[in-house]
Amino acid sequence: MNKMNKTTKQNMVTYAIVIIAYIIVMLLGVTGHISSLMEGLLVPLCIYVILAVSLNLVVGILGELSLGHAGFMCVGAFAGSFFSMCTKEAMPSGLRFLLALLIGAAVAAVFGILIGIPVLRLRGDYLAIVTLAFGEIIKNLMNVLYIGRDETGFHFSMKDSMALGLSPEGKTIINGPQGITGTPHDASFTIGVVLILLTLFMILNLIHSRDGRAIMAIRDNRIAAESIGINVTKYKLMAFTLSASIAGVAGVLYAHNLSTLTALPKNFGYNMSIMILVFVVLGGIGNIRGSVISAVVLTLLPELLRGLSDYRMLIYAVVLIAMMLFNWSPKAVTFRERYSLKRLLSRKETPDNHAAQ
């Protein structure tokens, strides 16, 4: 059918944007046009894109506000990193990293289910604050978690590394606030881009499937969805868990891009969750391609403004507020509709925008 072709085409454009951006970056890299600062940003860019796309599944497609996304990233990061530390010598890096990604995804998914079951019956701002609370708890727990290993096996403590009681040959793997040191540097820009494409593939295809329709139906009208036999709890949990699990993958990527992994307010606190939410909202709630673009632009923006040193975050804040007012204020919306270029050129009614591209 015609509509089918249209959505498939839309999806192809999204994949193409990512692939073309990748090729451009690689070409620039080969010709030496990328500063070392930019190079250091490439993997984080991939991480933010994955996080934004996965959060959009909850915020835009399911229509629930979650402020705990960084918590799932944190769980994934520690689980994946822990696995890599344990198997550092035991297997080749490619296989090890693949398994680490799967483990990060699985552990984050388990947390997604455990948290989702009780909290998803809360609505709106209550859900927002509870997910924020869970994110903070996870971050907090990681700071008091000590796991070590010696020839007798794994040792675990919530007090300090001495309490592990390791033998002299033993090694502390997770060391409380010091986190994990020495995670192998398995992440790369190429792997990051592959993971972005996989994430997009999963989420875009999900949206246009039977499950995706059920999820969006719940977003648009929960009561009507129930009245036609949609299992609200099941699909809410499905969207939430999938989103958590993909955030876990982003966490594994994050952990394997740094030599030291610690759970700080900066990387896994609510501020991080909020930043990802900003990406999602500015990119367009429910607009997956928009999330990709806004994550890239908003990550690069402060770096591009680096020349302005002290003023850059100030400008970022002003730009953020101005963009929100311009995009969402009813007055600005009417103004834009009246004077939109498209309309002036074509003089036609704007065609319907499908909620999820």
134-193 positions binding another protein, by CB under 8 A: 134, 136-137, 140-141, 143-144, 177
Residue 3 within binding range of another protein, rule CB under 8 A? yes
Residues contacting residue 52 through CB under 8 Å, at least 6 positions apart: 276, 279, 280, 283, 291, 292, 294, 295
Residue 286 within binding range of another protein, rule CB under 8 A? yes
The 8-class DSSP code of residue 287 comes to: -
Window contacting another protein (CB under 8 A); options: 32-40, 161-169, 189-197, 269-277: 269-277
Q: How far apart, in whole angstroms, are the C-alpha atoms of residue 354 and residue 349?
A: 15
Site for another protein in 317-336 (CB under 8 A): 317-318, 320-321, 324-325, 327-333
- 204, 218, 293, 219: which is closest to 7 by C-alpha? 204
- Please identify which residue in 41, 194, 211, 264 interacts with another protein, judged by CB under 8 A: 211
Window contacting another protein (CB under 8 A); options: 38-46, 97-105, 203-211, 338-346: 203-211
Window contacting another protein (CB under 8 A); options: 42-50, 82-90, 179-187, 198-206: 198-206
Residue 213 within binding range of another protein, rule CB under 8 A? yes
Residue 102 within binding range of another protein, rule CB under 8 A? no
Residue 202 within binding range of another protein, rule CB under 8 A? yes
Residue 305 within binding range of another protein, rule CB under 8 A? no
Site for another protein in 36-75 (CB under 8 A): 59, 65
- Please identify which residue in 35, 167, 190, 205 interacts with another protein, judged by CB under 8 A: 205
Radius of gyration of the chain from its Cα atoms, rounded to whole angstroms: 22
- Please identify which residue in 34, 113, 237, 316 interacts with another protein, judged by CB under 8 A: 316
Residue 106 contacts residue 251 (beta carbons within 8 Å): no
Residue 158 contacts residue 144 (beta carbons within 8 Å): yes
Residue 308 within binding range of another protein, rule CB under 8 A? no
- Please identify which residue in 19, 23, 24, 125 interacts with another protein, judged by CB under 8 A: 125
Window contacting another protein (CB under 8 A); options: 45-53, 102-110, 181-189, 227-235: 227-235
- Measure the CA dihedral 137/185/296/272, to 10°: 10
The packing angle between helices 232-255 and 69-86, to 10°, is 50
Residue type for 239, please? A
Q: How far apart, in whole angstroms, are the C-alpha atoms of residue 297 and residue 158?
A: 40
Residue 194 within binding range of another protein, rule CB under 8 A? no
Looking up tokens 């799967």 gives: 102
Residue type for 110, please? V
